[in-house]
Amino acid sequence: MKHLSKIQNAIKFATKTHEVYQKQKRKGKDIPYITHPLTVGLILAHAGASEDIVIAGLLHDTIEDSHKDHKVTRAMLDERFGLVVGALVASVTEPNKDLPWKERKQKALEHIKTMDVPSLLVKSADVISNVSEILADYKSDGEAVFGRFNAPKADLIANYRSVIKALINGLSQSNNPLLSDLRAIDDDLEKLA
């Protein structure tokens, strides 16, 4: 259990970033945002990812979503969690959230095609978590779930399906357990389209 303290520190850091400093919630719900990075970390741990990849999953939104008064930087992550974790988090961080939605998502999709396997794993767990939550919410709330997003339903689904296909392509040379989950959520999204 010597490494557990590094994971515990990552959980505390993510909790401060998302919950303590900004009381972030999941889109359109009264559920603390921290549930998402925790889920991403659990997905990665369940898939047998290394400690650094699990930690990057826990911290994957800290740079992108940190509050300006408590801004998280890559240098902070490098110092606290190591260069590998800092690089992984930076690799899945959208650099400019001020761009229009379609442009931002297109750039993110192109970036996936350049990612290495560890970054693809973190991004895959992020997508699996997000899409699984959308699918679960759809079962309980129906079409209303799509009103929570900054894009129409068709665009949102098309974007996620393109991202999933890019992730599957990137991971197809590895024998990764997340591939079956990616294929399953893609099938479920296709039914909603």
Q: Which two tokens stand for residue 31?
A: 């559920």
Options 51, 52, 65, 186, the catalytic residue: 65
What is the residue whose two structure tokens read 């290394």? 50
Options 19, 64, 141, 155, the catalytic residue: 64
Q: Which two tokens stand for residue 22?
A: 């900004």
Q: Does the active-site annotation cover 187?
A: no
Q: Which two tokens stand for residue 49?
A: 């990812």
What DSSP string runs through 8-73? HHHHHHHHIIIIITT--B-TTSSSBTTHHHHHHHHHHHHTT--HHHHHHHHHTTHHHH--GGG---
Q: Does the active-site annotation cover 133?
A: no
Nearest of 122, 119, 145, 132 to residue 189 by alpha carbon: 132
Residues annotated as catalytic are 64-65
